[in-house]
Amino acid sequence: MGIPNMTHPTQSHIAVVKDYLLALQADICTQLSAEDGQAHFVEDIWERPGGGGGQTRVLANGAVFEQAGVNFSQVFGTTLPPSATAARPELTGRRFQAMGVSLVIHPHNPFVPTSHANVRFFIAEHPTEAPVWWFGGGFDLTPYYGFEEDCVSWHQTAKVACDPFGAEVYANYKRWCDDYFFLKHRNEPRGIGGLFFDDLNEGGFEQSFALMQSVGDHYIQAYRPIVQKRKQLPFTEAQRDFQLYRRGRYVEFNLVYDRGTLFGLQSGGRTESILMSLPPLVKWRYDWQPAPHSAEARLYTDFLKPRDWLGLASC
């Protein structure tokens, strides 16, 4: 976007990040609406009492998507919540600004995976010290019934997003994603991974911003072809029931581990927008186990494990 490479971004550079995030939100909503073909996003503009606000867009009860939420937020504050300062005590006492686009898509059809993406920018400022800033983000896929070709195409697009920024970027961010989206109390991954990165400021503002944009731009390129391929597949009530059961894992992760959820709630963010990631229908069962050698069992044995989907030894 023609921004000079700077160590510390100014307000004009932050404004460019905001413009990009709003355009990204609009593009993803347009593409998802077109893919659904029936329902449209409803926009809810909100203000945060402590400073800032955002716009939440939600599509509900569509032909393809049971619920799709795409949220932009930009929040300000004088005190960071514990989820931010626990690992970085040097941020204590700084004013902060955080902005990003976060989305979660829950389809009707159990053969269409749930997907998540997030890209964000954070800066903490001090009157007498240099600002602390970084970019973060990523995207990940949570299938209910596994298709290896979908997993491969998802990771191929993730690698394409990373390749201009270094030979090891995809491998590093894939590994980070596998480690992050892991339910420790279940000892299982949330899905088949993708990309995750945080605290990115290496190489200066322009380079870091470009990488974040590439990840944001490639999300819909990775997800929409999978939706197109699977959305018309017939399914049974038993398969739908398994989807609802597996959605419980999604809820568990978002409420117990997800940094964005914790940061939003602890910083006084808008609860409705933060929790739009949760599916509208979900089931839990006591000590349920899939039938041996079933498609449901194969999700656990063949897909819910860190795998080198692209045949790259470095992964």
Q: And the tokens for 210? A: 């470009």
Q: Is 268 annotated as a binding residue?
A: yes
Closest CA to 76 of 136, 15, 123: 123
In sequence order, the 6+-apart residues with CB closer than 8 A to the CB of 176 are 138, 195, 196, 197
Q: In what helix (H) or strand (E) does residue 225 lie, and over which residues does it extend? A: helix 205-230
Q: Is 118 annotated as a binding residue?
A: yes
Q: Is 264 annotated as a binding residue?
A: no
Q: Is 270 annotated as a binding residue?
A: yes
Q: Is 293 annotated as a binding residue?
A: no
Cross-strand partners of 68: 59, 105
Q: In what helix (H) or strand (E) does residue 116 lie, and over which residues does it extend? A: strand 114-125
Separation between Cα atoms, residue 274 and residue 271, nearest integer Å? 5
Would strands 132-142 and 42-47 be described as parallel, antiparallel, or unpaired? unpaired
Cross-strand partners of 134: 122
Q: Up-side HSE of residue 86: CA atoms within 13 Å toward CB?
A: 7
13 is catalytic: no
Name the catalytic one among 116, 126, 218, 293.
116
- Type of residue at 89: P
Q: Is 54 annotated as a binding residue?
A: no
**Are the C-beta atoms of 217 and 24 separated by less than 8 Å?**
yes
Q: Is 126 annotated as a binding residue?
A: no
User: Residue with structure tokens 């932050």?
Assistant: 14
Q: Is 155 annotated as a binding residue?
A: yes
Separation between Cα atoms, residue 73 and residue 138, nearest integer Å? 17
Q: Output the known binding site.
A: 102, 106, 116, 118-120, 155, 185, 268-270
Q: Output the known binding site for substrate.
A: 102, 118-120, 268-270
Residues noted as catalytic: 116
Q: Output the known binding site for a divalent metal cation.
A: 106, 116, 155, 185
